[in-house]
Structure 1
Amino acid sequence: MDFAYAEQQSVGHHGAHQAVDEQRELVAYTPLVKRIVRQLGAQAGAAMDREDMEQIGLLGLLEALRRYGQPDEKFGAYAAMRVRGAILDELRRQDWRPRAVRQESHRVRDAVRELTRKLGREPTEAEIVATLGISGEAYQEHQLAENAEVLASFDELLHELSNHAADTLSPEAQLVRRRTLEQALLQLNEREQKVIQLYYEYEASFKEIAAVLDLTEARVCQINKGALKKMKSFIEAS
């Protein structure tokens, strides 16, 4: 990854010694940026070049370092949120889903809702594909796009919960934030909890989770999306 731009930003605002320290931390946390780019890249498709996403993620990491102060064992989680947020912000700024794609997304969503009402249960992927008259690949792309939207929304909610740098939060505030997230996780069923854990804690890809749980990638996306919506509703109501 090219650190030149971030380093120029650093030197412009800080002394040479601090710039060297920042550079060292940027290098140390580069694997974290790459993991997040790999996760988000699978959902954003060709919306943004991976190298561009890494550069934006690196700037998010630099901001996290400056807000947080000296990294400790809790910095990784804080930095991950900042890096993911920076990339998602840029994706939204670029309006990465064309209008026609958004319209198609609404059509698919409405059709699935109607099919669910008719069947009186959640339809299978095969039933959805047959009803929509689209390929399994097209439906999977739709699920990935939908999931990216929900992920962005949930990331904003987490950002609101963490709207102060971690070192400015009192121990009590940090405890409340952690318990709120734990309680939100308890609102999920066992499979939803497993998907959330594998994706966010173990940073597995949707493809890897699908293999572990013996599901299709599209189904994993669907479960993740529903789980995030449940958690978001619980947190907003808390």
Structure 2
Amino acid sequence: MPSRSPISEPAEHTLEDLDAAAGAYARRRSGASPSEADAIRENLVRYCLPFAGRLARRYRGRGEYLEDLEQVARLGLVKAVDRYDPERGSFTAYAVITISGELKRHFRDRTWGVHVPRRVQDLSLEVGHASMVLTSMLARKPTTAELADQLGVTEQAVLEAVESAAGYSPASLNAPVAGDGAMEFGDLIGDVDDELEAVTDKLTVTELLLRLPARERRMLAMRFYGNRTQAEIATELGISQMHVSRLLSRALTWLREAMLSDVPPRWDGAEAQARHGMQVSVTRDGSSLTVRVRGEVDRDTAERLGAGLRHAVGTPGVSAVVVDMSGVPLIDAAGVAVLVEALQLAASRDVGFGVAGAQPYVARILAVSGLAGVLRKA
């Protein structure tokens, strides 16, 4: 078996010479011994080395050393020689495909800094090569349309390949951007996320909101997430705008206190309101009944007041009913309705009916609602 010497670069040959040499190699290999077949194979590889080097030089200037590309091309050449079947066509055509495939695979698997789909990687290499060829031919940088026409692809595909080329060798975040190296490229990217500091507060508020009654949660959602006005909320809930303002203020005050304390304070909301949010008491002085009301009279509490007034008006031996509203800071449409109903019931039974001690806001509401005649001074 002949000794192997370092491979030197033979003179270049034409494609016809390569096909003829490959054909002769295939014929001689069929009847040769293993040692002779190895020698014949090595001679063909040496003979084709200039061809492999010529293909490798097509890919130079892309960030890889030419020597490395030549080694990859020679590996592809060896594979082409070992797999060559003369019955399947020209050796040169097969070698071009095999060597080019090895070179593209090398760029795809070893040199890209960011994962990019194989299709886009291959097209990116072809766009780079076509750009150099067209620049030489046109004496200017080719347009996207010219590159697409040259490669037989769409302009969108060319743009995608050009954009993905930035992932071939991405800039290091640790690369210095100043002469003294005090600042790195990563220092210029990003900023302090102010929202990060609010994450804990947002989680706490979310948990506290679940402690509020359903109506207050709905009002807060409508006001601060739905950007609804107080008037719009009042219309949808069937209460006055003033009542909405009071409820929102109470809910926000409770949330603020709960955020600043380790143990959330007791919510004096709907449940407490059911117990003492509005209180109704009745006293009798002869044939006159005084119904004292304390707290807000709204849609949630109006029916309780209406039941009390109906009972008072229907009490036997009663000639007059006076509703003491000095302790009522707010009344809405539902509260006005029960007063009108009580007035009508009292008139039908010939029982006097009046409202005493109404605060200015409540008095104005009753006056514009047609109840000015029942208002009395405390």
TM score, norm. by length of structure 2: 0.27
TM score, norm. by length of structure 1: 0.40
Taking CA–CA contacts closer than 8 Å with sequence separation of 6 or more, which of the two structures ends up with the larger relative contact order? 1
